[in-house]
């Protein structure tokens, strides 16, 4: 696992370089997209590079990570609407090139199976971007989720509903109780993974991810078995890491920035 520690714009630019490298090699890439505040600066950077004519997603495809169940189609907080507003509509994906789990599906279990099948049919995900929950969740894989889990219906942890109440006028009761989420096993099949975290609220989850016991109680620790993961952390999110890990990360950051 590679770790980069820096400040917001520097991290966004280094993370965007991963997209640029992949798209230069082959414009028909498949990207895994995440909602949440963590990827926003990366999306801003990617949109700026598309505007500048340096990058194009016109032949790429995308699959989002997760979706609430129980919100009406078109609700502003459906992840589908959020990812469209924050990223998809700002770059040049072809119409229909980005798919998300349908949170209004009459049969959520069938939708979950169809979603995994669609990812496989697209050839799998080349680059998955992730945030991390304060409880160590990735996508909506809450503590206890099996590391080989597939896309499925899940119940949200009380901590996650409390964290996400800020998007529902602070009203925790307005946050849906269930979701569809890519499984940890689904996420681990991505050929490359980048995870962004900022702020002291993520420090415990990041320390667990990097140096804690690998356990389903901290879902992100599953990433330790993946051969190509890069973490992009600000100093606060990295503050729970040991001095040795932070020293090594500083060296990796310098090397990445010098490129």
Query: What is the contact surface with ligand GLP in residues (CB under 6 A)?
Result: 34-38, 65-66, 131-133, 139-140, 160, 164
- Closest distance between ligand GLP and the C-beta of residue 36, in Å? 3
- Closest distance between ligand GLP and the C-beta of residue 254, in Å? 26
- Sheet with 98-99: strands ordered across: 2-5, 229-233, 192-197, 127-130, 30-33, 61-64, 98-99
φ, ψ at 154 (rounded to 5°): -140, 160
Shorter beta-carbon distance to ligand GLP: residue 92 or 155: 155
Sign of CA dihedral 93, 96, 97, 98: positive
Shorter beta-carbon distance to ligand GLP: residue 37 or 177: 37
Shorter beta-carbon distance to ligand GLP: residue 65 or 112: 65
Q: Angle 40-51/8-25 helices, nearest 10 degrees? A: 50
- DSSP type of residue 193: E
- Closest distance between ligand GLP and the C-beta of residue 56, in Å? 26
- Give dist(CA 19, CA 127) in Å, integer: 8
Residue nearest to ligand GLP (CB): 131
Q: What tokens were used for 65?
A: 């990570």
Angle, alpha carbons 219-75-168 (nearest 5°): 60
Strand partners, 195: 130, 231
- Closest distance between ligand GLP and the C-beta of residue 209, in Å? 12
- Closest distance between ligand GLP and the C-beta of residue 140, in Å? 5
Shorter beta-carbon distance to ligand GLP: residue 65 or 71: 65
Shorter beta-carbon distance to ligand GLP: residue 27 or 201: 201
């Amino acid at each position: 696992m590679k770790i980069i520690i820096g400040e917001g714009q520097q991290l966004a630019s280094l993370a965007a370089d991963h997209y640029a490298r992949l798209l230069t090699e082959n414009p028909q890439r498949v990207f895994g997209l995440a909602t949440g505040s963590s990827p926003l600066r990366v999306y801003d950077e990617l949109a700026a590079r598309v505007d500048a004519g340096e990058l194009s997603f016109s032949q790429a495809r995308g699959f989002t990570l997760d979706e609430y169940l129980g919100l009406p189609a078109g609700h502003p907080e459906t992840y589908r609407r959020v990812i469209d507003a924050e990223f998809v509509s700002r770059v040049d994906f072809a119409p229909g090139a980005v798919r998300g789990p349908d949170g209004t599906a009459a049969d959520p279990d069938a939708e979950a199976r169809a979603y995994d099948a669609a990812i496989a049919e697209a050839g799998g995900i080349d680059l998955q971007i992730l945030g991390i929950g304060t409880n160590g969740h990735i996508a909506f894989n809450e503590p206890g989720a099996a590391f080989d889990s597939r896309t499925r219906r899940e119940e949200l942890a009380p901590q996650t509903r409390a964290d996400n109440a800020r998007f529902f006028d602070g009203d925790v009761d307005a946050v849906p109780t269930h979701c569809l989420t890519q499984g940890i096993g689904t996420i681990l099949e991505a050929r490359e993974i980048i995870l962004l975290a900022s702020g002291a609220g993520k420090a415990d989850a990041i320390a667990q991810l990097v140096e804690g016991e690998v356990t389903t109680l901290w879902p992100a620790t599953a990433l330790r078995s993946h051969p190509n993961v890069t973490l992009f952390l600000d100093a606060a999110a990295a503050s729970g890491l040991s001095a040795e890990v932070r020293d090594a990360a500083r060296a990796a950051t310098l090397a990445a920035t010098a490129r």
